[in-house]
Each structure stands twice: as structure tokens, then as C-alpha cells.
Structure 1
Amino acid sequence: MKKYLLLMLTVGLLVLSACSNGQIEKVSDTNEEFKTISTNDLKEKLNNDSWVLVDTRSSDEFNGWKLNGIKRGGHISGAVDFSANWLRVDVDNKENLLNEALKNKNITQDKNIVLYDSNNKDSLEVAKYLSGKGYNNIYIYDLNEWAEDDSLPMEKYKNYHLIVPPSIVKDILDGKTPETFENANEIKIVEASWGDEDVSYSKGHVPTAFHINTDLVEPPPSWMLGTNEELESFALEYGFTKDDTVIVTSENQMAAYRVAVVLRYIGVKDVRVLNGGLLAWKLAGYEVETTSNKPTPVNDFGATIPANPELITTIEQVKENLTKNEFTLVDNRTWDEHIGNSSGYSYHDKKGRIPGSLYGYAGLSDSNSLDYFRNIDNTMRNFNEILSLWNKSGIDINNHLAFMCGSGWRAAEVLTYAQVMGLENTSLYSDGWIGWSNDTNNPIEVGEPK
């Protein structure tokens, strides 16, 4: 996995001015000036192909969270996202990744670019970045004006609450009750990662979080989903009940999503994941903790495990459903894995794909990558861009979508993103390629799909 380091970026004080068309925004430590645009003028430009509307806030705000005091959550319909947070991360090949994002979102120098935020900071930071790359037609807009007018539509993902901003987690730690947590009972924060605490947990985690070794839900040496008895033992030992609200964090996002899906499968009522993981927590400027926190065991989970069996598709169900037009098995592995050039795993040498599965994209390098589904800061990618990829593969989102990968980590993250968007007729084929190919009686395809 790529390691990300926190890059602290100082932004100069903003000299505020009224936001009417043609006025100038100024940043005190630069000579750069950017025009603003009024709400009325913006409404006229929304359907003009020569204009691009860009949301420069965090992906959490784009998804639907009401942060920074804004009246309504979500984004303006038709807006693309290019978060100022992406300029603050330190990652290999960063400039190429940013250029690729600009290209994918059609943010080009021949367009009129409207950048909006709600904190009078993010848009100016992105504007300075674009100006340095030769962009000239840049306008600034204050989203608060739009959000204050209830007659102007804003879009948000149906289940945006499933992935949580770091500021919301901080509010919870500070004893506050943020939006979507009004009916939460006991809130538990956990850190999921493979191995013992000294692998990653002891080096720093979100305060109060206790550690979950992923081997507890997918025991070695097969690393397949645990039996009902094993999962019940895990739930009781780690103090989970069906009425809990759990936020899963991790340095490795896939581990967090894998454990989150398993917790939902066994029947925990409210399970969420910190969007962007530990990197997002650090980018927000929050301190990590190195204290080893321990869970309090319980004697009764409160329901028969699994309480949500439909969340996991078994190998028998895959075989039965592959013949049905309303079912799609989505293969979230690399292209080389899908066509049989690579197994994807050092401990598994069988190559190929399940006949009838459709390539659903994953990462560019190996089984630890999900480049096609994440922004540069590890947060969830704009779902319209994900849908565009699936359209290329002929994936019909009206079908039941069962997501799979090698053993469930990548697919668990993709499944959650689909459900954030509101695709609820979905499940995880947890055994994945490894479970399928371990049985020599199961058919296998190799080569590019016809």
C-alpha cells in the first residue's frame, strides 16, 4: 500500500468582499485576484457546456454532510469535485494524479471554471493551483448563498451517512451529537487491521478506538469468512450487540470496509466507516492516540447470527444466480487478474475469472489497490465517475449486484460505496476468486472477454 504523509499547507488570510458578479476576491499573501459570480448568473451557466462547476470542499460535504455551518448538505446538481484536500496530501506521482483528475472531470483551460466552497478558503486554494497551471477564466462562488435558498436544488447520496467525516468523529469524542447520530445508542470506535496491535494500531489510531485483527472474522489459513459460531464468539468477546453504533477506522481502508461489512452481516444495527481512514483524520489536524484500548465483552449479542444473511452471497448462490438476467457478478480485481495474467496473491497461484462475471474495475497495480474507486486522499470517488466505468463494462445497476474480488477486502469497499449511492440490491460474494478456484470442479475462464 502507498504510504501517505501529512503535508501542512498554510493558506493566507482571506480579505472578504461581497459576492456579486465581477467583484474580486483577494488573498493577503499573494497578488492573485479572482472574480466572483452571482447566484443568478450561476443558474444561467449551469447548462452551458463552456462552463464547469467545481466543488472544492471535502468529499464528505460533496456526498451530503452539513459541515462548516452550511444550511443544507450535498452539492449543486451537475457539479464535479476537485477537493482542496487533494492538494494537501503527499503521495507518489501526485501531479500526474491531479492532472488525470482534471482531465476526467473536464476541468480544462478552455472552460470557464466556477469554484465553490462554504468556508472562504478551499476555492481560493484550488484557484491558486489552477492559476499556476495557466488557467485564466476562474470564478469564485460562495455555496452558502445557494444552500440558504430552499428553492435551489442540491443533491446528496441517499446513504451518505455510511461513510463519516473526521470532524463528525471528533464531535462524538467531544460529547456532541452530530447529524445522523441522533438515535445512536452506544457508539464504539474500532481500528481494523491485519495482525497484532504492534503492526499498525500501536503506532497511532483514532482516540478511544480498540483494535480488531481481521483474522478474527476471516480465520487463517484459508482467510475465508468465519463460521456463524466463530463470528458469534468474536462479537461477544469484543462487546458488540445488535443495537450498537460502530465506526470502523484504519490506516488500510480495505480492512476497515471488510470488518464493517462483517459487522453489518452479523447484525450490528448501525455500522459506518471513517471516509479516507487515518489519513483523513491526520489531514483534519487531529491527534492520534497510542494507548491500547480494550473492549468490554458481553454475554448476549441480542439476535441470531447472522441477522442479515442477505448481505453475503454464498458460492452456491453465485452458481444458481449466474444464469439469471437480473443478477450480475461484479469482479473488482485488476484487469490482469480478470483475464488470467495474474492470480493477484503470493499465497494463491490459480489464475482466471468466474465465467459470466463482469469486470468491475479495482486498482492499477495489485490486489492492494483501488485506484478506480478512490480520490487521491483515499476518500470515495464521485459516484458518477464510478457509474461511467461500470457502463463501459455493461453492468446494469438495476440488477442485483454481487461484488467480488480475491477474498472480499476490495469488494467490501466497493459494495459500501454502491450502498452509499443508494444501490441497496447489492451483496458481497465473500469467498471471491480464491474460494471459487480452490474447487477444481468449478469452471474457469482466461483471456480477454469476448
Structure 2
Amino acid sequence: MDAPAALRAAHLVDASTLAALLAGDAPPVVLDVRWALGAPDGRATHRAARVPGSTYVDLETELAGHGAPTDGRHPLPDVADLQAAARRWGVGAGQAVVVLDDVAGLSAARAWWLLRWAGLADVRLLDGGLAAWRAAGLPLASSDPVAPAPGDVVLRGGALPTVDADGAAALASRGRLLDVRAGERYRGETEPVDPRAGHVPGALSAPTAETLDAAGALVPSTTLDERFAALGTAPGERVGVSCGSGVTAAHAALTLVLSGREPVLFPGSWSAWANDPARPVAVGAEPWGSDGPTSA
């Protein structure tokens, strides 16, 4: 198996492979992160149609902490809180985990990144999400979910790199901070959530939705490599990723891993930056803004 294929096998699983694993002697824990901007509570949709045996994960309360506005809308949770949640989900020491959602992995990747950040080695994303499971003709559960037996996993933080706002600014100054929000938010044409519109001066626009194919699966690793090379990055390089609040940036981090790069997550992302009036804001399609290096 070549390096790109090995990376995909280590971080992704397709629907048929997941079905086979669930039927095996050591099935993985399956976590359903049913969340989207504007629809944060996915319990009802999870209950109505889910991968059999999967457990609902609340992104707002279990995959995020709470702090000051300058910490962003979804700061990283305390490791102790994340460990308690993982044990509620039934995660045991050394157990494999598969994460999924119904938005092509854009929210489930938050769980993928957090659990790997917390020290779990075997965490994979269902490529294509619930849509891929449905397309494969696999069964869905719709009865009331049964709580899993508590797990005994031990978590720690810091296994993956992060930066704060100062670190993000330093990466952006070298052209190594990718802003993966939609282009209109990057350009400052609209901002539906945060107090200021625009982007971190120097950050490059790289909408993560462009890494998905028409079915919602990730594009090939060679295509990812070409995309990130066009943005001036090289395999093995540390590349910062930022989004609105650190959720879809985790999906971008996964795509960087699959392309052979080392992602550095800015957990606070734009929501942290925009809430600090001392931070400059760039607007327009250019990294440094349409009016100069640090247009406000």
C-alpha cells in the first residue's frame, strides 16, 4: 500500500467496510455528530435514522467548552470533560472509533480531530457520511437508542498542534493560514454569526467544501495535494487552518493530513478573532485585503 492509500486507510472508512467491522468480533464505537450551523441539536434526526449501534454526540456540549467571546464559539473542551463524554459514549481503552454525520463529514471531523488530539490512535471518519451508508443500501435504525455500556478510555490533550490568535497571525504573515469558510464570508460580503466580517490579514481562502465530490466523499489524495500545492504549501509542511469556530477547520485538517501535510488548528478561528476589537480585519478577495495590508 502506497503512502496516500495508507493515510486514507488510517483516517477514513467506507460504508461497506464499516458494516463489515460492525458485524465482526471487535466492532468499533460509532459516534454520530449530527450538527450543522443553524441546526445544532441533531437528536431527533439521529433517532429517526442512524447507523445501527451508533451513539449521538452533542457537538455544542460534548465537543466544545465555554469561555470568553475571544475564545470563540467552540473552544476546546477540558480534557477531563471530553474523557467523561467519551466514556459515556462507550469508548474503551484501545478501542477503535468511527465518526460520522449527515453533512459529508464537516461536523464529524471535529470528533475525529478532538479524539486524536486527546491521544486516541484509531479514529476514522465515515467517508461520505450517512449519505454513503444509505447509498450502499445498508440498514438504518429508527427505534429509541440504547445507551452504551460505559467505557474506560483515558484521554490526554496536546497530541495534535494548535495555535492561538497570535500564532494564527504569525502563520498568516507567512501565507500559511488557510481560511476554509465559504468565499463570501472570507471576503466579508456576509457574516451570519460573528460580530465582524472579513478574514485574518494574510490568510488564504480555501473553502473546505471544495474538497468534496458531488456525493459528499473526499476527493482523491492526489487532487488534495494539487489543491494545497496551488496554495503554496508542500508535503510535510505545517499549515494553519481556521474557519468560523473551529468545526469545519477540523475537516480541513483531515484533508491536509491526507495530502501529507501537518495541519495546525486555530480552535477559536474567526469567532475568536472577530470578537477582539484589537485584531485587524481584511476584506476582499486578497489575503491582505482590498485596501492594503491590514484594512479594518
Bin for the TM-score computed over the shorter chain: 0.7 to 0.9
Structure label with greater radius of gyration: 1
Q: What's the counterpart of residue 207 of structure 2?
A: 361
Q: Distance in 2 between matches of 1:347 and 1:315?
A: 19
Q: CA deviation at 1:384?
A: 3.0
Report how far residue 397 of structure 1 moved: 4.3
Deviations 1:262-317 (A, max 9, x none): 1111122210011101111111111111230313334x5334x2151x34333343
Q: Give the aligned residue type for 1:239.
A: G
Deviations along 1:146-190, one digit per CA (max 9) or x if unpaired, are xxxxxxxx88533111110111111112226xxxxxxxx762111
Matched ranges for 1:430-441 at <5 A? 430-441=267-278
Correspondence for 1:296: 149
Unaligned segments of structure 1, at least 5 residues:
1-72, 74-153, 177-184, 363-369
2:292 aligned residue = none
Q: Which has the higher contact order (CA 8 A, sep 6+)?
A: 2
1:444 aligned onto 2:281: yes
Paired with 2:271 and 2:3, the residues of 1 have a C-alpha distance of: 39
CA–CA distance in structure 2, aligned partners of residues 445 and 431 of structure 1: 17
Assess if the C-alpha contact under 8 Å between 1:217 and 1:230 holds in 2: no
- Find 2:100's aligned residue among 240, 249, 260: 249
Equivalent residue pairs, number: 274
Which residue of 162, 173, 178 corresponds with 2:22? Answer: 173
Return the match for 1:192 from 26, 33, 56: 33
Contact 1:209 1:293 in 2 (8 A): no
Deviation at 1:398, TM superposition (A): 4.5
The equivalences for 1:6-25 within 5 A come to none
Contact 1:402–1:427 (8 Å) recurs in 2: yes
1:260 matched to 2:105? The reply is no
Give, in angstroms, the shift of residue 207 of structure 1: 1.0
Shift of 1:357: 1.3
What per-residue deviation string (whole Å, max 9, x for no partner) do you get for residues 358-411 of structure 1?
22233xxxxxxx1x1111111001233333333443344443111111112222
Report the residue type matching 1:277 in the other structure: G
**Which of 236, 246, 263 does residue 426 from structure 1 map onto?**
263
User: What displacement does 1:244 show?
Assistant: 2.1
1:229 Cα offset (Å): 3.8
> Hey, what does 1:338 align to over in structure 2?
186
The DSSP-based 3-state class of the residue aligned with 1:159 is: helix
Percent pairwise identity: 21
Counterparts of 2:150 and 2:92, CA distance in 1: 10
Q: Report whether the alignment pairs 1:312 with 2:162.
A: yes
* Distance in 2 of aligned mates of 1:387 and 1:155: 13
Correspondence for 1:223: 74
Shift of 1:349: 3.4
Note closer, same or farther for the CA distance 1:158–1:427 as it changes in structure 2 (3 Å cut): farther
1:442 maps to a residue whose letter is R
Report the counterpart of residue 278 of structure 1 in structure 2. 130
8 Å contact from structure 2 (residues 4, 221) kept in 1: no
Q: 1:361 to 1:259 in 2, by over 3 A?
A: same
Give the AA of the match of 1:210.
T
| Distance in 1 (alpha carbons) for counterparts of 2:245 and 2:235 | 23
With normalisation by structure 2, the TM-score equals 0.82
CA distance in 1: counterparts of 2:212 and 2:109, whole angstroms = 13
Alignment of 1:206 onto 2:60:
no
Q: Distance in 2 between matches of 1:283 and 1:414?
A: 24
**How far apart, in 1, do the equivalents of 2:43 and 2:153 lie?**
29
Q: Secondary structure at the match of 1:190?
A: strand
Q: How do residues 9-408 of structure 1 correspond to structure 2 at under 5 angstroms?
A: 156-161=4-9, 162-175=11-24, 187-194=28-35, 195-196=40-41, 198-215=43-60, 216-219=62-65, 222-252=73-103, 253-291=105-143, 292-298=145-151, 300-303=152-155, 305-308=156-159, 310-323=160-173, 325=174, 328-343=176-191, 346-362=192-208, 370=209, 372-408=210-246
Task: Give the Cα–Cα distance (whole angstroms) in 2 for the partners of residues 165 and 301 of structure 1.
Answer: 25
Q: CA deviation at 1:233?
A: 3.1
Q: Secondary structure at the match of 1:269?
A: coil
Indicate conservation of the 8 Å contact 1:248/1:271, yes or no. Answer: yes
Q: 1:320 to 1:421 in 2, by over 3 A?
A: closer
SS in 2 for 1:402: strand
Mark the runs of 5 or more structure 2 residues left unpaired by the alignment: 68-72, 289-296
